[in-house]
Structure 1
Amino acid sequence: MAELDLDAEAFEKLVVDELDLLPDDMVDGLDNVVFVVEDRPEDGSLDLLGLYDGVNLTERGQYGFGELPDRIILYREPLLDVSADLEELKDQIHVTLVHEIAHFYGIDDDELHRLGWG
C-alpha cells in the first residue's frame, strides 16, 4: 500500500473541508468545542484515530461560562496509516469527525456501532 504523506497544514485543510460537509444540524449544536489536529495520541500509538476530550452534552449540568472548550482531536499519522489513498483518507476523517461529534452529544461507542458509525 502506498504511504500517504500529508503535512500538518494539508491535513488540517482536509479536516476543515470535511467539517464543512457535515450537516448543519450536527455542527450547529456544538457549543464550546474546538477541533484540533495532532500527529499522534500521547502514548505514540497508531491505534486511535480521534478523541473527544470533554464533558458530553448529556452530562454538562451547570457547565458553560468560563469553561475551557472541549476538544475533538484528530490524529494525523494514524489516519494516514489506515488510508490507502486520498479518497479513503477523506472518508476516514469524515467518519472520525462524526464519531467524535456523536460523543459530544452523549452517544457511546456501542450505540455508534449499532448505527453503523463504529
Structure 2
Amino acid sequence: MTRPFGLAPTLDEIETLALSALARLPEEFRVHLAGVAVRVEDFADQATLDALGIEDPFELTGIYEGVPVGEKFGAPNGTMPDRIRLFRGAILDEWIARGDESLEHLVAHVLIHEVGHHFGLSDADIHALEDSA
C-alpha cells in the first residue's frame, strides 16, 4: 500500500485488507463465516474495554462478538448477529511497534485470530496453532 507521507490508512482501507484476508481463507472455513459481519473502528468503546478488563485501548486490536459455531444450536432467541470488530488505532500502533511486518499481514493475523474465536477456539488454542504453523 503506497501512501503519501504521514497519512495513516483509513478505516475503509483497513476493512479492505480484512475482507481480502477473509476471502483468502479456505472455502470450508468461509462457508461458516457467511453471516459474520466485519467492522473496523478507530478504537474499542469504553464498555467493551471495561467488559474485558482492559484499561488501554491500544491493547485491543480486535474482538469476536457472537456465539461460536459449535454453540449456535443452543443459543437463546434474540441473540445479536455475529461480528468481528477490528480496531484501527491499536492495529496501526502494533504495526509501527513491530516495524518488520506488512500492514496487510498484521490485519490478516488479527482477523484470523478473531475467526478462531468464531470457531470456539480459546486464545491459548489459537496461540498453540500459530506456534505450530
| Mapped partners of 1:70, 1:28: distance in 2 | 14
Return closer, same or farther for 1:79/1:59 CA change in 2, 3 Å cut-off: same
Aligned to 2:28: 25
Aligned to 1:95: 109
The reply to whether residue 61 of structure 1 matches residue 64 of structure 2 is no
Q: SS of 1:35's equivalent?
A: strand
The ranges of structure 1 where at least 4 consecutive aligned residues each deviate by more than 4 angstroms after the TM superposition are: 64-67
RMSD over aligned Cα, in angstroms?
Answer: 2.7
Q: Give the conservation status (yes or no) of the 8 Å contact 1:35–1:72.
A: yes
Corresponding residue to 2:125 among 107, 111, 117: 111
| Mapped partners of 2:17, 2:128: distance in 1 | 27
More helix by percentage? 2
| Mapped partners of 2:10, 2:18: distance in 1 | 12
Q: Give the conservation status (yes or no) of the 8 Å contact 1:4–1:80.
A: no
Q: How much identity, in percent, do the aligned residues show?
A: 31
> How far off is 1:67 after superposition?
4.3
Greater RCO, CA 8 A, separation 6+: 1
The reply to whether residue 49 of structure 1 matches residue 61 of structure 2 is yes
Aligned to 1:11: 14
Q: Which structure 2 segments of 5+ residues have no match?
A: 47-55
Q: Scaled by the length of structure 1, what TM-score is found?
A: 0.82
| Mapped partners of 1:17, 1:105: distance in 2 | 19
Give 1 or 2 for the bigger CA radius of gyration. 2
* Count of matched residue pairs: 116
Q: Scaled by the length of structure 2, what TM-score is found?
A: 0.73
Q: Which structure 1 segments of 5+ residues have no match?
A: none
